Chains A and B, each alone.
Chain A
Amino acid sequence: DTGVSQDPRHKITKRGQNVTFRCDPISEHNRLYWYRQTLGQGPEFLTYFQNEAQLEKSRLLSDRFSAERPKGSFSTLEIQRTEQGDSAMYLCASSRGGDSGNQPQHFGDGTRLSIL
């Protein structure tokens, strides 16, 4: 398996700008997750997809955040009108779905966002 791939690794932008991150999951995984991790904390769930359907969103995901997975493969996470508080590591994970028990999520290297 190639692992979960995220792009870019680092993004520095000015407050108020829009940013978009991309995640390519492991190819046979139909579930894709986005998490956010701030310094010194554990990751926090943002949203997840089963194939192309976005099935759950955390209350952490404000109106400025939008995620898509148009063909059930790669996903994008866009943040509009960025704020200082958006500075964090954004992690993408993928897993197999199904009834065979809870499948482990495999994570990418993350995109570190810094807001100036």
Chain B
Amino acid sequence: AQKVTQAQTEISVVEKEDVTLDCVYETRDTTYYLFWYKQPPSGELVFLIRRNSFDEQNEISGRYSWNFQKSTSSFNFTITASQVVDSAVYFCALSEAGNAGNMLTFGGGTRLMVKP
């Protein structure tokens, strides 16, 4: 069965610091998809990125970057020069290609607090 672990339950940083959110996953499928979502205090889950298991290229989008390493089953998320607006709960999620419905298995989330 698939599993996603986000060991950091809460991280507090001061604005402009860089911060990395860890995600470790377990799956038996050779083809799978990894996601990051942001949940601000308003509650809506906002899609940030999707990664396919056969594409290990790292990705950068503005201040956000993602490091996917199959060898360690990790998909970590780094925010560079954090801002107060980055304060939210961040979820890592996994879906398996062998599961026709592509339902998501989420980690427990990491609450990020960025202080001015």
Contacts and interface: CB of A to CB of B under 8 A. Distances in A.
Interface of A: 31, 33, 35, 40-45, 48, 50, 55-56, 89, 91, 93, 95, 101-110, 112
B90 to A, nearest CB: 10
Contacts of B45: 43, 91, 93, 107
Given A41-B109, A106-B47, 9 more contacts: A43-B106, A89-B43, A102-B33, A102-B95, A104-B35, A107-B47, A108-B44, A110-B43, A110-B44
A109 B108 CA distance: 19
A33 B103 contact: yes
Nearest to A111: B43
Given A107-B44, A109-B42, A56 B103 contact: yes
Is chain A's interface secondary structure helix, strand, loop, or mixed overall?
Answer: strand
Contact of A102 (B42, B50, B91, B107): B50
Interface in B50-99: 50, 52, 91, 93, 95, 97
Contacts of B107: 42
B61 to A, nearest CB: 14
B27 interface: no
Contacts of B42: 109
B102 A42 contact: no
